[in-house]
Every structure is written in structure tokens, then in C-alpha cells.
Amino acid sequence: MKKLLLSLVVLFSVTALFVSCDDKETVVAEGELPQTAKTFLNANFNGVKILSVVEEKEGLTGKEYDVLLDNGIEVKFDKNGDWLDIEAQNNANAIPDNVVPKAILDYVKANYKNAGINSLEKERHGFDVELTNGLDLEFDKDGKFIRINP
């Protein structure tokens, strides 16, 4: 009986491992981006060429799209085309100010005059912001500073 139970546990564990590793990445055409993502890119990165669009099939969350632009910025979108993460590939480069929520931008400009924002990520609680000087800041959903992440 113990061997049967152990065998079932192992079988379910291996099955769960294969199912969770079933995420796939596929290069897709720019036209396959959701309209919301296209609108965001046109409004905030007008004239910047899209180098690649990678569609990731995530287990429970559906699809995500990673868009690499020719200015070294990578934007991740959810299945609806809402941005999740905007990141400069070179940590010394900053993302454009126009994509940063005003409250966050104002805080960074007031407190870190010599640093730009090179990563902006939406999270459940708010925003995670990485600066070009290496600091990682956390903000709430309204853009109010919470803390420096260690």
C-alpha cells in the first residue's frame, strides 16, 4: 500500500512538473499585439521601431507579450495589451519620462536628481521602480513612496 501511495505521489509530481513547464515562447508578428498595446506603443514610443514581439503562453494567466524596441527598451504586456513592465536593457539607460506615472516621476526627480528610471513594473501592491544608480524603490498604486527595497 505504501509503495502504491508513493508511486501515485511521484506520478502526480512528475505530471505537475511537465504541465508547469509547458509555457511556450513564440515570435509573432507585430500585428498580433492586442490593440491596447499598439496604442500604448504609438503614444509613448512614436517613431521607435519594434525589433521583435515574443508571445509567451503562461499557465494560468494566459498570454503575455514581450516587445523589444530599437532604442533598447523592452515592454511586457498582458493578454489584454496592458503594460506590465517597462525596462531599459542597459541599466545605465533611462526609460522615457512620459511612461512613468507623474507622482513617481516627481518623487524621483525631487529626491534623486542625478538618476533616471530604468525599470518600471506594475505589481499587485503598486509599482517597483529601479533607478539608474541601482536603487530599487517601491510605490503604492497612487504613486506614493513606500520604501527602498534592499
Please name each of the domains of the chain with its CATH number.
22-81 (3.40.1420.30), 90-150 (3.40.1420.30)
Task: State the Cα–Cα distance between residues 83 and 88, nearest whole angstrom.
Answer: 14
0.85 exceeded by pTM: no
Per-residue b/e over 59-92, b at no fewer than 16 CB within 10 Å?
eeeebbbbbbbeeebbbbbbeebebbbbbbeeee
Residue 46: phi and psi, rounded to 5, are -60, 130
Write down the pLDDT at residue 13.
Answer: 46
How confident is the model over 56-115, as pLDDT tens digits? 997 776 899 999 999 999 999 999 999 999 999 887 788 999 999 999 999 999 999 999
Cell numbers 500604448 label which residue? 40
pLDDT surpassing 80 at residue 123: yes
